[in-house]
Amino acid sequence: MHGRDNLHLLYPETFTQWESAVLPSEEFIRVEEGGDYGWPYCYYDQINEKKVLAPEYGGDGEIIGRCADMDDPVMGFPGHWAPNDLLFYTGDQFPDRYKNGAFIAFHGSTNRSPYQQSGYFVAFVPFVNGQVSGDWEVFANGFAGKELIINTNDAEFRPMGLAQGPDGSLYVSDSRVGKIWRILYKGDKATFGEAELAKMEAQKLVANIRNPHPVEDNLDKGQLPEGKKVYNTYCSPCHQRDGKGAKGRIPELSNTDWVTGDKSRLINIVLNGLEGEIEVNGELYDNIMPAHQFLTDEQISQVLTFIRKNFENNASAVAKEDVAKIRAKILN
Ligand code: HEC
């Protein structure tokens, strides 16, 4: 199950940007008849290994409340990894330890800014007699073509779907260009063991898988211009730090008439949000951008000036008086 998003964006007093990047957990749930896994009242915190009350229902990251009665997942993965497929392996091609275990395709995060994105690999969870028998492992990494993924579009490929072939091969599909990998085992099953697994264990420390360091990995450490600060905090979780968006879901902000054209329309988008089908640079989007009326006139003028002068754009600044005028019209 995918965990929810935006703990810091919605509750900045309660959750830090780091907490919002790594929480809440992506939960591996065993669905039992009559089970209650807490949605939407609770979320699982994989660091403290407990279900806690969601902030919408009075939670602060610690309070458990009604979640004490909810069923825990069998395993909690770090936040935003986006498990998009699950496959229990029944083949005989791979070494015995893989039989009946679970492969999970993590499509990878979009909204871990100001930290690097995470996920983008295929994990394995060992099972014996229908029970989890060990910690999760990295099974296949490297799809993104790089370890430090700052913007979602930096990843060359993103693992999406899993299938098992009749000969026990594992197939992994990608969502960026539709590439499909076939994974075969050609080694000696009898000698497969600790040495091979140690190599995969080491992969847990690479940038797209390990937990980011709260200070060292903060991409915004140091001084930033105000407009960029507002952008990185409020817009980049969706539009990405390079303004290129995420294909098919979030439009880019480079060379678009929406950004460089009419200022009133642009201010309106930020204040009121935007919903329904739009075309941006020849691509259709039909999604929802939330309203940002909680930003001050000054913050909106700073962020709009920033996007109009960055991401290959070169348009005039937006004054805070322009924002105030449009806000007054909306309120009337
Ligand atoms: C929760 C995700 C999200 C956040 C946060 C967000 N946007 Fe958007 N934005 C979208 C989506 C989705 C659309 C397209 C909406 C549609 O399909 O109708 C969009 C459209 C736009 C557009 C018009 C289309 C384009 O690409 O030029 C602009 C301009 C824009 N957003 C600016 C911003 C700015 C500035 C911020 C920060 C203050 C921001 N957005 C925050 C998701 C988001």
Tokens of 289: 């951008």
* Residue 124 binned pLDDT confidence (cut-offs 50, 70, 90): very high
Instruction: Please say if the pLDDT value at position 221 is more than 90.
Output: no
Average pLDDT over residues 135-149: 97
Amino acid at 159: P
CB of residue 290 inside a 6 A radius of ligand 1: yes
How many angstroms from the chain centroid is the CA of residue 268?
27
pLDDT at 331: 77
pLDDT at 224: 83
Find out whether 248 and 280 touch, Cβ atoms under 8 Å: no
pLDDT at 179: 98
Average pLDDT over residues 194-205: 94
The pLDDT tens digits of the residues spanning 162-188 come to 999 999 999 999 999 999 999 999 999
Task: State in Å: Cα 300 to ligand 1 middle.
Answer: 13
* Residue 153 binned pLDDT confidence (cut-offs 50, 70, 90): very high
How many angstroms from the chain centroid is the CA of residue 31?
24
Instruction: Please say if the pLDDT value at position 137 is more than 80.
Output: yes
pLDDT at 62: 97
Task: State in Å: Cα 322 to ligand 1 middle.
Answer: 19
Q: Quote the mean pLDDT of the chain.
A: 95
- Nearest-atom number in ligand 1 for the CA of 230 is 38
Task: State in Å: Cα 232 to ligand 1 middle.
Answer: 13
CB of residue 258 inside a 6 A radius of ligand 1: yes
The pLDDT tens digits of the residues spanning 49-68 come to 999 999 999 999 999 999 99
pLDDT at 248: 86
The pLDDT tens digits of the residues spanning 248-273 come to 899 999 999 999 999 999 999 999 99
Amino acid at 156: E
Q: Whose CA is nearest to atom 42 of ligand 1?
A: 289
**Rounded to 5°, angle at Cα 292 from 287 and 295:** 160
CB of residue 323 inside a 6 A radius of ligand 1: no
pLDDT at 9: 86
pLDDT at 81: 98
CB of residue 278 inside a 6 A radius of ligand 1: yes
Measured between alpha carbons, how far is 326 from 24 in angstroms, rounded to an integer? 37
Task: State in Å: Cα 86 to ligand 1 middle.
Answer: 31
Omega cis (within 30) before 126? no
How many angstroms from the chain centroid is the CA of residue 72?
22
Task: State in Å: Cα 234 to ligand 1 middle.
Answer: 10
Task: State in Å: Cα 275 to ligand 1 middle.
Answer: 9
Average pLDDT over residues 68-79: 97
Measured between alpha carbons, how far is 308 from 24 in angstroms, rounded to an integer? 34
pLDDT at 292: 94
Measured between alpha carbons, how far is 88 from 270 in angstroms, rounded to an integer? 44
Q: Whose CA is nearest to atom 8 of ligand 1?
A: 289
Tokens of 319: 């004054």
Task: State in Å: Cα 306 to ligand 1 middle.
Answer: 14
CB of residue 303 inside a 6 A radius of ligand 1: yes
Pocket test for ligand 1, best of 252, 289, 326 (most atoms within 8 A of CB): 289
Higher pLDDT, 89 or 225: 89
Task: State in Å: Cα 258 to ligand 1 middle.
Answer: 10
Task: State in Å: Cα 187 to ligand 1 middle.
Answer: 49
Pocket test for ligand 1, best of 111, 236, 238 (most atoms within 8 A of CB): 238
Instruction: Please say if the pLDDT value at position 332 is more than 80.
Output: no
pLDDT at 96: 95
Find out whether 304 and 266 touch, Cβ atoms under 8 Å: yes
pLDDT at 247: 84
pLDDT at 144: 98
Find out whether 74 and 132 touch, Cβ atoms under 8 Å: yes
